[in-house]
Amino acid sequence: MKFKLYLFALLAAALMVSCGDSKEEKKEENAITIGGKKETKKKDANSVTIGLTGNDLMKYDKSEIRVKAGQKVTLNFRHVGKMDKLVMGHNFVLLKPGTDITEFAIKASEAGEAEDWIPEDGANVIVHTEMIGGGQSTSITFDAPEAGTYDFICSFPGHAALMKGKFIVE
């Protein structure tokens, strides 16, 4: 019996010591580079890459995008939601100046899926991505238009009221 009591007391003491404030020594590890030089990516002032997402709540993650006139723009667009494109499809549509968003959205609904929700063969569109569903992504590359402020929207039916922003070209 004494042995069990002694063992219990020893285990309890060991537990208390192990739960105490112990400071661990941190070892610094030196990184070793073997046989190469460090590569750095050159920034090209004539090009820019922009990431944009849309979600199942009909929201873009950006309401404003800024670029410079004439820049080569690569827009990587990702649908971070889960719904199918027939239910909650999204795209990026950069409209020409003076285009009425509400009127364009009505015409986009009428154009339908067969036209990828882009009316009048894109007469009022500078550039657009394809329509994508949840978990999908797409990318487009284009030259930024002349300086000014342009509207961008999602042309899926009912989305343009919430999914819109300004594309500002400086």
The model's pTM is 0.74
Query: Residue range 91-100: average pLDDT?
Result: 98
pLDDT at res. 159: 97
Let me know if residue 17 belongs to a domain: no
Tell me, yes or no, whether 60 lies in a domain. yes
The answer to whether position 71 is within a domain reads yes
State the pLDDT at residue 27. Answer: 44
| pLDDT average, residue stretch 32-46 | 54
3-state secondary structure the chain: CHHHHHHHHHHHHHHHHHCCCCCCCCCCCCCCCCCCCCCCCCCCCCEEEEEEEECCCCCECCCEEEECCCCEEEEEEEECCCCCHHHHCECCEEECCCCCHHHHHHHHHHHCHHHCCCHHHHCCEEEECCCECCCCEEEEEEECCCCEEEEEECCCCCCCCCCEEEEEEC
31 or 91, greater pLDDT:
91
* Residue 101 belongs to a domain: yes
Q: Domain containing 109 — which CATH number?
A: 2.60.40.420
Cα 76 to chain centroid, rounded: 7
Range of the domain at 104: 47-169
**Residue 24 confidence (pLDDT):** 44
163 touches 61 (CB < 8 A): no
Query: Is 28 part of any domain?
Result: no
What is the band of 116 on the pLDDT scale with cuts at 50, 70, 90? very high
65, exposed or middle or buried, with CB in 10 Å at 0-12, 13-18, 19+? buried
pLDDT at 38: 45
Count of domains for the chain: 1
Determine, yes or no, domain membership for 16.
no
pLDDT of residue 30: 47
Top-confidence residue, 87 or 14: 87
Q: What is residue 80's predicted lDDT score, i.e. its pLDDT? A: 98
Q: What is the pLDDT of residues 42-83, one digit of tens each?
A: 556 799 999 999 999 999 999 999 999 999 999 999 999 999
- Whether residue 34 is contained in a domain is answered as no
118-165 residue pLDDT tens: 999 999 999 999 999 999 999 999 999 999 999 999 999 999 999 999
Looking at residue 44, its pLDDT comes to 67
Residue 32 lies in a domain: no
- Whole-number Å distance between alpha carbons of 110 and 107: 5
